[in-house]
Amino acid sequence: MKYGILWDLDGTLWDSSRWVSAAWNEYCAAHGIERRFTPDDCRSYCGKTLEQIAAVVFPDAEPAWRNRVIEACCDAECIPLAKHGGVLYPDTEAVLEQLHRRYHMSVVSNCGLGYIEAFYAGNRTKRFFDDEENAARTGLGKAGNIRLVMERNGLDRAVYIGDTQGDFAAASQAGVPFIHAAYGFGQAPDAKWRIQSLKELPALIEQMWGK
């Protein structure tokens, strides 16, 4: 049996909102767009696809325009994130190292192109992960990408860890158990499993899989 742990990124492994909001503000200012963003704004968008974020940010704008703007903002954010990194949650590196010794590990996110790679570069985390996937590259929702990662890596069993109800719904649709990162940005009241900190995760995984 091959076991895998699949990870959401924002609100689960890190908080990148400081650099994301700054990059989005810089882009909008440079292109004469009046909209400005706070870190809290950017945290509230996490878990949504780029098209969903664009509709929230610019609800009255023409869809093709607003999608281009959000895609450009997401391209811009990768530059400072790859250089400076985001804020990792406590014990992230120690827990990732411990779990990667025993399980396949992948990041599955609704982020734009280059964002996961910026997470790897800015926080030196690539060594903990075997694969990654995102909605911008495949055009699939999170549930489809969870199934895709499981299939191409030959995973017999997997669990998805995320911080929002959308993450819970995606894991349920993909047919895998879900662990709610309750320290993150969102709520998942229907989750059966939850952790208040990452250091609780290894013991919970052993409990769930009996190994």
Q: Are 181 and 74 in contact (CB under 8 A)?
A: no
Q: What is the pLDDT of residue 62?
A: 97
The Cα–Cα gap between 105 and 92 comes to: 13
Among residues 58, 84, 110, which one ends one of the domains?
84
Pair 32, 67 in one domain: yes
Query: Could you report the average pLDDT of every consecutive run of 10 residues in the chain (211 residues)?
Result: 97 97 98 96 90 96 97 96 97 98 97 95 98 94 97 98 96 98 95 97 94 61
Q: Are 153 and 108 in contact (CB under 8 A)?
A: no
67, amino acid identity? N
Number of compact structural domains in the chain: 2
Q: Are 37 and 48 in contact (CB under 8 A)?
A: no
CATH number for the domain spanning 46: value is 1.10.150
Pair 111, 151 in one domain: yes
Q: Are 156 and 115 in contact (CB under 8 A)?
A: no
User: What pTM was computed for the model?
Assistant: 0.93
Q: What is the pLDDT of residue 211?
A: 61
Pair 61, 109 in one domain: no
156: domain range? Answer: 3-14+88-209
